[in-house]
C-alpha cells in the first residue's frame, strides 16, 4: 500500500463536496431552528462518515495514512469548536434571528472551506521548497497557544468593530433584517441588510482561524489531500453542533487550555521536524539532525484526545458555578 491515487482523491472530494452542497440546499430551502434530535442525527452521521472514510483509507493506503487523517480531523474539529464561541458572539452582536442562523453558519462554513483550501495550496507549495517554514509554523503555534491561555479576543473584536464601522460608513445598510435577504428596498431605494455585515464578519473570522488551523495540521501531515479532507470533515456538522451545544458552550471554560496544549504540542512537533530536516546554515552548520526523533502519529493522536477529554471533564467538574448557571439559563431561553 502506498500513496493515494489521483482518481481516488478526485472521487472522494467530489462525493464529500456534493454532500456538503446537499446540506446547504436543505438549509436554503427550509430555514429553521433545528431540534436537538435533528442536530444529534446530523452530527452522528458526519462523525460516522469521517470514521468510515478513515476505514477506507486503511484499506486503500494503510494504517499510517488513516491515522494521520484521524489525528488531523480531531485537531481541526477541536479548533473548529473554538470557532463556535466566536460565531455565538457574532450572532448576538448582530441580533441574527435564530430562524436564519443555520443559513449564516452554512455560508460561514463554505467561506472557511475556501479560505482553508487556499492556505493549504499555498502552504503545501511553500513547505515543499522551503523546509525552514516549519520553524515559522512552530513559533506561530507557540504564540497562538499563548493567546489561547490569555483568553483575550480584544484584537479580533477591535478588527471586527473597525470593519463594521467602515462598512456602515461606505455602504447603505438598513437597521432591520428583511428575512434572509442581502438587499432590500426602503422608501424606493435599494439598500443592504445587516445580513451582509454578518456574512463579512463571519468571513473575516474564518480567515483568521484558518491562519491558526492550517499550520497546526501541517504539523501532523503535509499531504494536501489529507489536510483538506480533515478540514472538510471538521467543518461538516459544525452548524448542527452550534445548536446542539447551545448554552453548554459557556460550560467549556477550560477548553482554551486544552486547545493551547494541543497547539503547543504540535508546535514542538513542528520544530523537531524542522531540526530533523534542517537546511539552515546557522543551525548545526546546515546539516540535518537525524538523531532527533519524529513523533509517531499514534502518540500525537493520544495527546490530542487526552487534551480534549481533560479540558472538557475539568470544565464540567470544576468550572465556575456562574458558567453553569449561565448555560442553564441560555438553554431555557432556547
Query: At 334, is the pLDDT very low, low, confident or very high (cuts 50, 70, 90)?
Result: very low
For the cut 80, the answer to whether the pLDDT of residue 236 exceeds it is yes
Q: What is the pLDDT of residue 331?
A: 44
Kind plus residue range of the DSSP H or E element containing 186: strand 183-186
- In the beta sheet, which residues pair with residue 190? 185
**Model confidence pLDDT, tens digit, residues 32-47:** 677 778 888 888 999 9
Task: State residue 126's pLDDT score.
Answer: 80
Which range, 61-75, 265-279, 311-325, is most confident? 61-75
Q: What is the pLDDT of residue 188?
A: 76
Place 322 in a pLDDT band, splitting at 50, 70 and 90: low
Cα dist from 170 to 90, 125, 173, 188, 218, whole Å: 21, 37, 9, 19, 39
Query: In this structure, are residues 278 and 286 in contact, taking their beta carbons and an 8 Å threshold?
Result: yes
Are the C-beta atoms of 88 and 105 separated by less than 8 Å? no
d(CA 127, CA 125): 6
Strand ranges, E, within 193-238: none
Q: Which residue has the higher pLDDT, 63 or 194?
A: 63
pLDDT, position 327: 47
Q: What is the tens place of the pLDDT at every residue in 71-98?
A: 999 988 888 877 777 777 778 778 888 7
Please give the Cα distance from 220 to 272 (Å, whole number).
12
d(CA 215, CA 122): 11
Query: What's the confidence (pLDDT) of residue 191?
Result: 82
Sign of CA dihedral 66, 67, 71, 74: positive
pLDDT of residue 333: 45
Burial 107-128 (b: 16+ CB within 10 A, else e): bbbbbbbebbbebbeebbeebe
Half-sphere exposure of 214 (CA within 13 A, CB side): 26
Q: Where are the alpha helices (DSSP H) in the chain?
A: 6-29, 36-61, 63-93, 98-129, 133-150, 154-170, 194-218, 224-235, 238-245, 255-276, 297-318, 321-333
Task: Provide the pLDDT for residue 5.
Answer: 86
288 or 61: which leads in pLDDT: 61
Confidence of residue 160 (pLDDT cuts 50, 70, 90): low
Predicted confidence at residue 152, as pLDDT, reads 53
Q: Check pLDDT > 90 for residue 129.
A: no
Domain ranges of the chain: 6-152+216-333
| Residue 70, pLDDT above cutoff 90 | yes
pLDDT recorded at residue 329: 45
Q: What's the distance, Cα to Cα, between the start and end of the chain in Å?
A: 50
Could you tell me the pTM of the whole model? 0.78
Residue 306's pLDDT is 92
pLDDT greater than 50 at residue 315: yes
Amino acid at each position: 500500500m502506498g500513496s493515494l491515487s489521483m482518481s481516488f482523491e478526485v472521487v472522494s472530494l467530489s462525493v464529500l463536496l456534493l454532500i456538503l452542497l446537499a446540506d446547504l440546499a436543505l438549509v436554503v430551502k427550509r430555514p429553521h431552528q433545528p431540534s436537538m434530535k435533528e442536530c444529534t442525527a446530523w452530527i452522528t452521521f458526519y462523525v460516522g462518515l469521517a470514521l468510515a472514510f478513515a476505514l477506507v483509507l486503511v484499506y486503500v493506503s494503510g494504517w499510517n495514512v488513516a491515522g494521520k487523517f484521524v489525528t488531523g480531523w480531531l485537531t481541526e474539529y477541536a479548533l473548529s469548536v473554538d470557532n463556535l464561541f466566536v460565531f455565538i458572539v457574532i450572532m448576538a452582536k448582530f441580533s441574527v434571528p435564530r430562524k436564519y442562523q443555520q443559513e449564516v453558519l452554512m455560508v460561514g462554513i463554505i467561506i472557511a472551506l475556501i479560505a482553508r483550501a487556499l492556505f493549504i495550496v499555498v502552504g503545501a507549495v511553500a513547505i515543499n521548497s522551503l523546509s525552514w517554514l516549519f520553524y515559522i509554523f512552530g513559533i506561530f503555534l507557540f504564540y497562538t497557544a499563548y493567546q489561547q491561555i490569555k483568553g483575550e479576543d480584544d484584537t479580533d473584536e477591535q478588527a471586527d468593530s473597525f470593519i463594521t464601522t467602515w462598512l456602515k460608513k461606505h455602504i447603505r445598510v438598513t437597521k432591520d433584517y428583511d428575512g434572509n435577504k442581502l438587499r432590500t428596498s426602503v422608501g424606493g431605494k435599494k439598500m443592504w441588510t445587516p445580513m451582509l455585515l454578518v456574512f463579512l464578519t463571519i468571513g473575516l473570522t474564518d480567515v483568521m482561524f484558518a491562519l491558526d488551523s492550517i499550520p497546526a495540521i501541517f504539523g501532523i501531515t503535509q499531504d494536501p489531500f489529507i489536510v483538506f479532507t480533515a478540514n472538510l470533515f471538521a467543518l461538516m456538522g459544525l452548524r448542527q453542533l452550534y445548536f446542539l451545544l447551545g448554552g453548554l458552550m459557556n460550560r467549556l471554560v477550560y477548553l482554551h487550555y486544552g486547545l493551547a496544549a494541543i497547539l503547543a504540542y504540535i508546535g514542538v512537533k513542528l520544530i523537531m521536524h524542522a531540526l530533523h530536516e534542517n537546511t539552515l546554515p546557522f543551525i548545526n552548520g546546515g546539516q540535518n539532525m537525524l538523531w532527533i526523533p519524529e513523533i509517531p502519529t499514534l502518540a500525537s493522536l493520544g495527546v490530542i484526545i487526552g487534551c480534549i477529554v481533560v479540558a472538557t471533564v475539568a470544565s464540567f467538574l470544576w468550572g465556575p458555578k456562574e458558567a453553569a448557571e449561565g448555560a442553564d439559563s441560555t438553554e431555557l431561553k432556547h
